[in-house]
Homo-oligomer: A and B are copies of this chain.
Amino acid sequence: MKTGDLLTVRQVADRSGFAPSALRYYEREGLVAARRTTGGQRRYERSVLRRLAFIRAARNVGLTLEEVRAALHTLPDARTPTRADWTRLSRSWRRRLDEQIAALSALREGLDSCIGCGCLSLQRCAISNPGDQAARQGPGARYLPPPLRAPARE
């Protein structure tokens, strides 16, 4: 199982926590790259692990793959990204986290004062109408997607 300092797909899968199928998918989507053996098998550089850590972190924070791709495209192709590169990338998450925490806190406030008291009003409820975008006139509020969950255990 010696492969110089290049990693097989299984090794990367084991160390990153992503399934091989996900790694192939990410490659198709341009999120990670791999070299090939003469026989066409993937061989990953070690730096892909940090990249994958970034991807997982970003997903956990709630970014879509599209956003992740955009972020990764701001990294230099030529050289291995430095600490400063990663720091710059992660700065935008900080803001996002702050916003998400604020949103959830608002919801919790609303829970105490609104649903907790039983008023659960369509017009004013902070939970059914977060951010006080109360009773949108148009086509009505769109889908507001899923949250951060505990990692699957099984």
Copy count, this protein chain: 2
Is there contact, CB below 8 Å, between A14 and B149? no
Chain B residues, CB < 8 A from A141: 17, 56, 151-152
Count of chain A residues with Cβ under 8 Å from any Cβ of B? 72
Interface stretch among A1-9, A31-39, A70-78, A131-139? A131-139
Given contacts A101-B101, A101-B105, A148-B100, contact A122 B53 (CB under 8 A): yes
Is there contact, CB below 8 Å, between B128 and A56? yes
- List the B residue with the shortest CB-CB distance to A110: B57
Chain B residues, CB < 8 A from A19: 139-140
Residue among A50, A101, A135, A149 facing the most chain B CB atoms (10 A cut-off): A149
Given contacts A17-B140, A145-B147, 17 further A-B contacts (CB under 8 A): A17-B141, A19-B140, A49-B122, A50-B122, A53-B120, A53-B125, A57-B125, A60-B128, A60-B130, A62-B146, A90-B115, A97-B108, A97-B111, A133-B153, A141-B152, A144-B148, A144-B149
